[in-house]
Amino acid sequence: MVLTPCGLMLLLGAWGIRRQDAIWRDEAVTYDMAHRSLADLWPTLQHVDVVHGLYYVLMHAWFRVYDATLGGSLGEAVGLRLPSAVAMTAAAAGVALLGQRLVGRRAGLFAGVTFALIPVVQQYAQEGRSYAMVCALVVWATYVLVAAAERPRRKLWCGYAALMLSACLLHEFAVLALPAHGAAVILARLPRRVLRAWALAAAGVLAGLAPLAVFSTRQSAQLSWLVWPDPVQLLTFAVLAVLGAGCARIRVRSRGPISLRALALPLLLLPTLFLFLLSYAEPAYVDRYVLYYVVGFALLAGAALARLLRPAGERGQTRARWRRRTMALVLVAAALLPVDVHLRSADSRVDDATAIARAVREVAEPGDGLLFLPARRRIWIAPYPHRFRGLRDLALAKSPVASHTLYGTERSGTTIRARMLAARRIVVAADPDGQPVDTDDQEIAKRATLREAFEVCVSREVRGARVTVYGRRGECDGPR
């Protein structure tokens, strides 16, 4: 039963995993941090991205093995995403076993298959970030919770706490699964000793997470790019929530003390709702932060499908009705195919560091100056530093590694201007037109100097960026 969801998830995770070797900016950060030495990584985490610290350490260990064995043949993109594909396969197995334990074998099978077919699951199965690992840990923590509710044992509660703490240390917002688990325990009306055991385990998780949570508040400026929830992400949640609630209305017989609805509905609804409410105080809503909410939908949908698609003849169901419902399921899967194909294209992410590096290499000449607008786009260099060799970064004061930062530190606006005026040609890798611009002295100096003393020689737009060669006035043939 588990082999089918696992095989399907692994197949979908491997399908198009290279994504034309396109790496987007968040994955470039992972690549950069994972390839720093531990001696360099630790001081960097004290300044930035401490919430992903454990993930970077794990990826550092992974790349030590991958680069020495498979890296030369499979490339950077596969190395970044393969751990996520494996983690999501483990999550699919956990969903299937959870559905089997809650309802039955066929419910588990359908739940695991449904989970694998959800587009957002496939998206993060091919993402070089921590979200697939977090999802897998929450799934297995939920499975252990159900097992502990059925047969309370100290080692099960310790296992639950360890899995949840690991998920939270990989990403703090995994902690929002705890209210969903607590709601399931309360709704199941379990004995008080079970409720006390869960509360003690949850308290242990919170205590273990507290130092990281307190320290990470110093780095809250990293979320300054968030303004308000993405409407597409909200619509995705709303659709799954409505469909999940509809599936919950189909009566199924639960096997254990925790019913399917008591567990799946809180897991589907509560993490996202809490994160959405938190965004009123400080913008923090991104669907991947609580990706594990889709597990609740998969469990509900799996149980509903198991009941609706009973073998022909069972309890009077006709073969024709069974065929119609099966065909409807096939049509839904076919309707998702264009979305699945899009997720495996370079256009599915906000930018493409591979295409940007290639464009820079094509238009640049040895000795050209180099600028990034804004400075944080310097991360585009990380996966392909060799393609930027021979160019002089006119704004850079200290490299990302030397400064223990993600993007390096830049010189003053006055110094940047002077260095720009001493250059004959400057290659600029910038955000595409129409994006908000930074207003610090360095960015103002860059834009003003380009406008006053240079003209466009060549300009190319690639996914999520514009690469432009500027020359001193009168030295270009004209914009192209």
pLDDT at residue 256, as a whole number: 83
pLDDT at 139 over 80: yes
Q: Please give the C-alpha separations between residue 225 and each of 31, 100, 233, 285, 446, in angstroms, as whole numbers.
A: 21, 41, 16, 11, 21
pLDDT at 321 over 80: no
Digit-coded pLDDT (tens) for 40-58? 999 999 989 999 999 999 9
pLDDT at residue 228, as a whole number: 67
Q: How confident is the model at residue 312 (pLDDT cuts 50, 70, 90)?
A: low
Higher per-residue confidence, 190 vs 475: 190
DSSP 3-state of 459: strand
Q: How confident is the model at residue 480 (pLDDT cuts 50, 70, 90)?
A: very low
Higher per-residue confidence, 327 vs 380: 380
Digit-coded pLDDT (tens) for 375-400? 999 999 999 999 999 999 999 999 99
**DSSP code of 432?**
P
pLDDT at 234 over 60: yes
Q: Mean pLDDT score of the chain, rounded to an integer?
A: 91
Q: How confident is the model at residue 293 (pLDDT cuts 50, 70, 90)?
A: very high
Mean pLDDT confidence for 125-146: 97
3-state percent helix, strand, coil for the chain, nearest multiple of 5: 70, 5, 25
pLDDT at residue 452, as a whole number: 93
pLDDT at 221 over 80: no
Phi, psi of 210 (to 5 degrees): -55, -50
The answer to whether 442 and 416 are in contact (CB under 8 A) is yes
pLDDT at residue 314, as a whole number: 52
